[in-house]
A and B are shown apart, each in its own frame.
Chain A
Amino acid sequence: MNKLGRRKLKNFLALSISSLCAAAGLAILFIILYDVLKEGLKSFSIHLFISDPAPPNRGLSGGLKGAFLGQGLLTLAATVVGVPLGVLGGTFLAEYGRNSRFCRFLSRLCDMAVSIPSIVIGTFVYAILVLPLGGFNGWAGSTALAIIILPVVIRTTEEMMTMVPWTLREAAFALGAPYHKVITSIVWRASISGIFTGILLAIARIAGETAPLLFTSFNSNYFRLSFNEAVPSLTVSIYQYAASPYEEWISLAWAAALVVTILVLILNIIGRVLIKIRIGG
């Protein structure tokens, strides 16, 4: 009885401590979201999306038009390069390289690359694409983002494809299908929703990044649709506006933060819903 009582006490303690921690984490998250929502809505207006930045304290309603466009294009460029490369790389690891020790090593390496702090990638790209080219530029920014997204996409693709049972591939081989057709028409088809979900989550991750852009494409007030110079960035703008002493800029930063949060949230929710659908069906 005594033993049982102690066990029940321990159980109770463990349960309450972990619940408390979970509640604390959630509380902090909601405080952040609440703050972003409250502060962000204050200066949230259409000007945010359609106006160029304005100097503070003149009563002008400035916006971050270029920053939205720039951030979007940087993310898009990184996605366009990183996703196909990542899917092909992941496919190679899952299929052609599945029996090779070297490939298993590469896949472990990708796991490590996923957890490299993004600022390290930013400084690396600074060294290879900013210094030699003589200044901040959009190519460097999208390269940094592509480097971040690449290992994530490789690993997701590899994992999703590995989950496709071999009997399915065998059935296609038994019909006389060559390996590349087995991959494209059977394995990809069977794992497409998982790979797609992983890609969405990976895009969500780079869309809200600041650190890798600080040293690469940095920021600019105007977007001249050229990647050969500094490119306006929403996240870097938020960083700069929030650190400025001007009331207007700070509240604009809140509004922009709200938009980024919502966008990333939407991407994540779509991703999760897709996961649910896939597991459910």
Chain B
Amino acid sequence: MDSRDKTTDLLVVNNLNFYYGNNLALSDVSMPVKKNCITSLIGPSGCGKTTLLRCFNRMHDLYPKNRYEGQIVFDGHNILDKSQDLIKLRGRIGMVFQKPTPFPMSIFDNIAYGLRLNDISNKSVLADKVEKALKQAALWEEVKDRLKQNAAGLSGGQQQRLSIARTLAVDPEVILLDESTSALDPVSTQKIEDLLAELKYEVTIIAVTHNMQQAARISDFTALMYIGKLVEFDETETIFTKPANKMTEQYVTGRFG
């Protein structure tokens, strides 16, 4: 039985606009992100899914001239505030990218990277946490005998699960996934989906996906975007069975455009 309470808003996006320089990439987006739920972001290429996802951990701040307007409320305050401590924020809201990004170091050190950032240096604590994260990401069996080897030697799918394990290791409250299974084979994808299904009891997940079946399978809520705007946000079942918006219906049934 699903024991989750799906009514608490962990994050609330209020009238969010985002600009790349002068280009408005998100306009007036408002939606909640429910605690302990998986929220899918879907929509055609270039509609702003990645852009929205990267607002949640302020990744856009790495580049000059990017600008936010509006609010994303997390724990009672607006994380888009200039005064927001980005290092703290990114510790609480983790992200897995579309392409695997192994650091140029051993498998163990990859996973331990975030832990060491948090000043965890006790060897046995590190080893335990690394093992737990690798198990969660369904990678442990494949790498347990070669933790000291360079992570670059892993296959693409393994590298992606490594990236996921690295994110999980620091116990974030929210995990952002940007098409993180798009480069994986069906078996690995299944493993990741199983993992997400378990994780949702502890963390909140926002996942960008191009795969409608995946969105329908794994997520509790779905947001459909189109050209920088939020078209419809609702429970996944509603979006896929009786959407309020005509465009949503066309999109989820593959009759779009």
Contact = CB atoms under 8 A, between A and B. Distances in A.
Instruction: For chain A, give the interface size range.
Output: 10 to 19
A213 B65 CA distance: 48
Contacts of A170: 59, 62, 97, 101
Contacts of B257: none
A175 B59 contact: no
A173 B86 CA distance: 9
Contacts of A166: 62
A190 B117 CA distance: 18
Instruction: For chain B, give the interface size range.
Output: 20 to 34
Interface string A166-204: 111111111111100100011001100000000000000
Contacts of B117: 175-177, 181
A165 to B, nearest CB: 8
Interface string B74-103: 000000000000011111001101010101
Contacts of A168: 101, 103
B20 to A, nearest CB: 14
A189 B113 contact: no
Interface in A44-64: none
Contacts of B104: 186, 189-190
Contact of A175 (B62, B64, B99, B113): B113
Given A170-B62, A185-B113, A175 B170 contact: yes
Question: Which secondary structure characterizes the binding site on chain A?
Answer: helix
Contacts of A177: 87, 113-114, 117
Interface in B104-127: 104-105, 113-114, 117-118
Given A167-B97, A178-B87, A181-B117, A172 B62 contact: no
A115 interface: no
A99 interface: yes
A174 B64 contact: no
A218 B88 CA distance: 57
Contacts of B105: 189
A180 to B, nearest CB: 11
Contact of A174 (B57, B88, B99, B118): B57
Nearest to B92: A176
B105 to A, nearest CB: 7
B166 interface: yes
Interface string B51-62: 000000101001
Nearest to A178: B87
A168 B152 CA distance: 12
Nearest to A193: B104
B204 to A, nearest CB: 16
A99 B87 CA distance: 22
Contact of A171 (B64, B88, B97, B170): B97
A175 B114 contact: yes
Contact of B90 (A99, A173, A181, A189): A173
Contacts of B94: 174-175
A171 B59 contact: no
A185 B166 CA distance: 15
B163 interface: yes
Given A175-B170, A190-B103, 9 more contacts: A170-B97, A171-B166, A172-B103, A175-B91, A175-B113, A175-B114, A176-B91, A176-B117, A177-B114
22 contacts: A99-B64, A166-B62, A167-B99, A170-B97, A171-B163, A172-B113, A173-B62, A174-B94, A174-B95, A175-B91, A175-B117, A175-B166, A175-B167, A176-B90, A176-B91, A176-B114, A176-B117, A177-B113, A178-B87, A181-B117, A185-B113, A186-B104
Closest 7 pairs between A and B when the two form their complex, measured CB to CB: A176-B91, A171-B101, A175-B114, A176-B90, A174-B95, A190-B104, A176-B87
